[in-house]
Each structure stands twice: as structure tokens, then as C-alpha cells.
Structure 1
Amino acid sequence: MSEQEQEKKQEYAFHPADLIEYAMDKPIGAARAALRVGLEDADVDHDIIIAELMGNMELNQRFLKKLTGALRKNPNKIIGEMPDRIQTLQVERDLGI
């Protein structure tokens, strides 16, 4: 890869948390799409996170801020930053319960 191609690639560095933050104040469809893409390589399934967002919008904003913070720390390992309920649901999903 040429130096110019490498520079161009660096300019477009994608971070999953950026996508989640962008979608936070958008309609739920955009948020769902962002979560599917943003959590693609994470250790928490996007469906668990989407289900958690079915409640109070104020709580959702706090939850999404916590999620984006976890993604910024390590986009592949966010389970330890999630609430106990999310951790439990992910373990159940991993075990096929």
C-alpha cells in the first residue's frame, strides 16, 4: 500500500462509538442500525442492547453514553462495563439458555 493510500485510510478511521453517538438522538431505526454495525465485533450481542432500549428515553441516553464509553475503551470487550442485567442476558445467550 502506498503512503498516500495509508494516509487516506487513516483519515477515514471508523470507531464504533462514533456511530452509536451519532444515532443517539435519531429515530429508533437509525439507532438499531448503528447498534448492529457498532457492536459487530463486540462481546455483547446487539439484540440484547436493542431490547434494553425499549424503556425510558432518559435512561436510554445514559445507557448509550455508558455503551459508547465502553466501546471507546475497547470495542471488542465491553461486557465488563455493562449493567448486571446485560451481562446476565449475554451469558444466557452464550450458553444457549
Structure 2
Amino acid sequence: MSEQEQEYVFHPADLVEYAMDKPIGAARAALTIGLEDADVYPDIIIAELSGNMELNQRFLKKLTGALRKDPNKIIGDMPNRIQGLQFERDLGL
């Protein structure tokens, strides 16, 4: 396979890294797409990012690491608050 025939292999964590320094609209769209197959609702993650920017950067780095480890199973690497919100949503509360 030549270099021209090789295609970029998309990884969901790439979109999270992209979202780190973007305005909220672009970040929201990137996170929604990047978390499509993850075991957490994207809106829970997006809501968590409404806090201060320093916290957001640390959280997004943690999210990126979890996605790189296994893009379909990230909830175990998320803070307890997000795990709780996810559990409540799954139970329909």
C-alpha cells in the first residue's frame, strides 16, 4: 500500500483533543461525535464542562486518555459525579 493509499484512521479521542481549545459550539459538536459509541451520554460530559477552564482542560485530558484506552468503555475512568449521573439516567431517574 503506497502512502497515498493509506487513510487516516479516525480515533474518537482526536475529536476530544480538538475540542480542548475551541468555542463551546465547536466543542459540543466534536464531543457529541467523539462520544457516539461510548458508554456515557455526551450531554452529561458536555454539562460537566460548564465549569472553569482549568478544570475543563484536566477533565478533557482524562476523557482523551479513557477514549484512547477503549473508546467504547470510558465510564470507569470518569469522575464519580459523571458515573452517578450516568447511572441515574440508565435507571430512568
TM normalised by structure 2 equals 0.93
* Residue matched to 1:21: 17
Return the letter of the residue paired with 2:59: F
Partner residue of 1:75?
71
Larger Rg: 1
Task: Kindly report which structure 2 residues correspond to 1:1-97, keeping only aligned pairs within 5 A, or say none.
Answer: 8=5, 11-97=7-93
Q: What do the CA deviations read for 1:25-73 (whole angstroms, capped 9, x no partner)?
A: 0101111001100000000000000000011110000000000000000
1:71 is matched by which residue type in structure 2? Answer: L
Q: Which runs of 5+ in 1 are unaligned?
A: none
Identity of aligned residues (%): 82
Amino acid at match of 2:85: L
Q: How far is 1:22 from its partner?
A: 1.2
| Higher share in helix | 1
Equivalent residue pairs, number: 92
Give 5+ residue unaligned stretches, structure 2.
none
Cα distance in 2 between the residues matched to 1:51 and 1:27: 14
SS of the aligned residue for 1:41 comes to: coil
Give TM-score, length-normalised by structure 1.
0.89
